[in-house]
Amino acid sequence: MPRTDVVLADPRLVAAEGRLGRGVVKDAVAQAQLRARQGRLSPEEVADAAVAALPPYAASLRPVINMTGVLVHTNLGRAPLSAAATAPPVAAAGCTDVEFDLAAGVRARRGRGVLDALVRAVPAAEAAHVVNNNAAALVLVATALAADREIVISRGELVEIGDGFRIPDLLVSTGARLREVGTTNRTSYADYAEAVGERTGFVLKVHPSNFRIEGFTGSVEVAELTGLGVPVVADLGSGLLTREPLLPEEPDAATTLGAGADLVTASADKLLGGPQAGLLLGRRELVERCARHPLARALRVDKLTLAALEATLRGPAPPVRQALRADPATLRERAEAIARRLSEAGVDARAVPSEATVGGGGAPGVPLRSAAVSLPTLLAAPLRTGDPPVVGRIEGGRLLLDLRAVPGERDGDVTRAVLGAVG
């Protein structure tokens, strides 16, 4: 059995140590030695086996091809960043002028570039602030504007978001008291007017982004609430900054502020297509009150997120927007081409119509015409555990690989992944 230090001296493992760290490389060597002791490898194969077992990155996260038909899939990291947004964080990984004015040689406002980009993207906003996610944005607003005061909210908007987190629990944790008005299905202007008083911090409108209520319903629009004499805060969630013709019922920041909302909160890693972050947009005085609150320090984002978000705002259309606007006819042609290549290789594959969704709490109930490659369900597990992993969905007793969220240049990778899973 070759000694550990001898194996670690292999030039390939020496190079890998600089990229992955000594611990990762040493673990791979130890596993290869164990296999040799068990008779599954010859001693001469230990170094080769250790090299083959090394992960591509020091981090355990693996890139995945999202073929679920859900464009913003929370379990798969939500919005994939554009190429334009992945380069700036690399450049910002070292020392950077994140809080320094190079020309004046003095301290500068953190994230000034991305704040300027946000206000340019939403001119109706007088100011902007960025925190680490939308829940943090809402917590900061509630703490800064309504601690020991009341937040007036419709009972139909006391929603539960991902992983069991509930908006009312989130708000109460800040020290605010909820003043619930109306009923689950109907809330009127009079309900709000009766509840607003000296103890009111603000009125909150929460977009029910992950469900729909139909039938005998009634709600009050932002524009109607602006005359109550207290700030109106709108939690949009999905991160849509301006109107999207394909999603006419999805609220956006520009329209909501234009209707009179004083503050808007939203996610950056959903329809905006950026990194995980929470956005505050609106009246300068209120935004600055939130930004100056001590809690803002605990919720701030790092320089890598600032760089990626600014590049998303200033750069080309991110992958989420491209997927949203993908041409269904083109998707069908791609699915047919992939299915044809797989069929020629003996795989039970065919192109079928499919329906994709926005996901991530955006545009609930809105179907997006798509196309998929239909395969036997027994391929689901080997595709998920392949390299790269491919994640689809089971529907009607078949595995569907939906193409909506997959760029056309990845079709060859998908084909090779399926052939590899068939084995």
* pLDDT for 306 beyond 60: yes
* pLDDT for 307 beyond 90: yes
Q: What is the pLDDT of residue 423?
A: 80
**Does one domain contain both 266 and 388?**
no
Q: How confident is the model at residue 57 (pLDDT cuts 50, 70, 90)?
A: confident
**Does one domain contain both 211 and 355?**
no
What digits encode the pLDDT tens for the residues 28-54?
Answer: 999 999 999 999 999 999 999 999 999
CATH number at residue 400: 3.90.1150.180
What digits encode the pLDDT tens for the residues 192-205?
Answer: 999 999 999 999 99
Whether residue 60 lies inside any domain: the answer is no
**Does one domain contain both 90 and 13?**
no
**Does one domain contain both 179 and 251?**
yes
Boundary of a domain, candidates 315, 345, 368: 315
Whether residue 59 lies inside any domain: the answer is no
Is 361 within 8 Å of 377 (Cβ atoms)?
no
Number of domains in the chain: 3
Please give the average per-residue pLDDT across 157-174, as a whole number: 84
Please give the average per-residue pLDDT across 274-295, as a whole number: 97
Domain residue limits at 37: 4-53
Whether residue 58 lies inside any domain: the answer is no
**Does one domain contain both 237 and 337?**
no
What digits encode the pLDDT tens for the residues 211-255?
Answer: 666 666 788 899 999 989 999 999 997 889 999 999 998 999 999
Please give the average per-residue pLDDT across 90-102, as a whole number: 94
Whether residue 236 lies inside any domain: the answer is yes
Q: What is the pLDDT of residue 161?
A: 72
Q: What is the pLDDT of residue 209?
A: 62
Q: What is the pLDDT of residue 58?
A: 85
Q: What is the pLDDT of residue 164?
A: 72
**Does one domain contain both 249 and 106?**
yes
What digits encode the pLDDT tens for the residues 350-402?
Answer: 999 999 999 987 887 789 999 999 999 999 999 999 999 999 999 999 999 99
**Does one domain contain both 109 and 184?**
yes
Q: How confident is the model at residue 163 (pLDDT cuts 50, 70, 90)?
A: low
